[in-house]
Amino acid sequence: MANISLATALRTIFTVLGLLMLATLLYTLFTDGLPFRKELLTPWMTATLVDFYINVVALSVWVAYKESNWISSILWIVFLVCFGSITTSVYVVVQFLKLSSQESSQDAMYYVLLRHPNKNDTAPKREYSSVVPLRILFSILGATMLGTLVYTIVTDGSPFRRELLTPWLSATLVDFYINIVALAVWVAYKESSWVSAAFWIILLICFGSIITCCYIVRELFQISCHDPAYLVLVHHDDIDRAENKYKRISVEAT
């Protein structure tokens, strides 16, 4: 019952967040015009966009894993790039709606995070694991964002200035933090205690994609470089269950 309530609560939260972002986008379009204007691309707006899209990369990797074919993966990723957290919210809600009542009652987060296996979806061969490439990718992205942050502070000063808060920067920040909510839900699920979860979530709120990358790299180092990368999605106690799930499907397929 608690897991069903969690699934319902998260569906509701992301429905509300998606509608909030849609309303923010429409309001900003009507009151401030189109965002494709050179004067809007201030140093801090550029830094915010870099921060935003690094988180989009993290979400896109999950979407690419979740989808059963490349066409649907590409479509969802294009929507993520173009519409940001509106797409994130829609995608999360859709994944929760796909759960059966049994899955919702057992462990909603586990089944939402992992791809639903079928007869053609067997466990990835360990020699082709993408763990190492992902460690490198997110290390580079984290370093890129850190460099962007330091450079912007040095060249443009503090971001806490009233004149920087243009309507489109405000809308971008709403977009950014809705994606942070999605990542924070995953972090809360992954961590074994509320203290550690709260610690990481506070860092996420304060430092954005730098912490996203640090956390993902940290979790990727918790599994072997020969393990399938999807194991990073689940709680440490569920790793064996996740591997056995795909092994079972593989045996049934043969």
Name the residue ranges covered by the structural domains of the chain: 2-253
Spell out the residues 6+ positions from residue 61 whose beta carbon is closer than 8 angstroms to its own: 134
Of the candidates 18, 19, 2, the residue with the CA atom closest to the CA atom of residue 182: 18
Higher pLDDT, 107 or 242: 107
pLDDT band at 1 (very low <50, low <70, confident <90, very high): low
- Report the mean per-residue pLDDT for the chain: 89
Identity of the residue numbered 27: Y
Per-residue confidence at 126, pLDDT binned at 50, 70, 90?
very low
Tokens for 106, please give them.
């057992």
User: At 101, is the pLDDT very low, low, confident or very high (cuts 50, 70, 90)?
Assistant: confident
Res. 118: pLDDT tops 70: no
- pLDDT at res. 106: 84
Chain centroid, CA 237 distance in Å: 21
Interval 136-140 mean pLDDT: 98
pLDDT, residue 124, reads 47
Q: At residue 41, what are phi and psi to the nearest 5 degrees?
A: -85, 65
Question: pLDDT confidence of 3, banded at 50, 70, 90?
Answer: low
Alpha helices in the chain (DSSP H): 2-32, 43-66, 70-83, 85-97, 101-113, 131-156, 167-190, 194-207, 209-220, 239-253
The Cα–Cα gap between 137 and 139 comes to 6
Look at residue 16 in the predicted model and tell me its pLDDT. 98
Rounded to an integer, the average pLDDT of 162-188 is: 95
Angle, helices 43-66/85-97, rounded to nearest 10 degrees: 20
pLDDT band at residue 250 using 50, 70 and 90 as cut-offs = very low
State residue 246's pLDDT score: 52
Distance between CA atoms of 239 and 122, rounded to whole angstroms? 16
pLDDT higher than 50, residue 221: yes
- Whether 42 has a pLDDT exceeding 60, the answer reads yes
Q: Look-up: residue for tokens 């990542």?
A: 183
Residue 7 near residue 103 (C-beta atoms within 8 A) = no
**Lowest-confidence region among 14-18, 30-34, 209-213:** 30-34
Largest CA distance in the chain: 64
Residue 202 has pLDDT above 90, yes or no: yes
- Please tell me the distance from the alpha carbon of residue 141 to that of residue 152, in angstroms, as a whole number: 16
Is the pLDDT confidence value at 226 over 70?
A: yes
What is the per-residue pLDDT for 128? 62
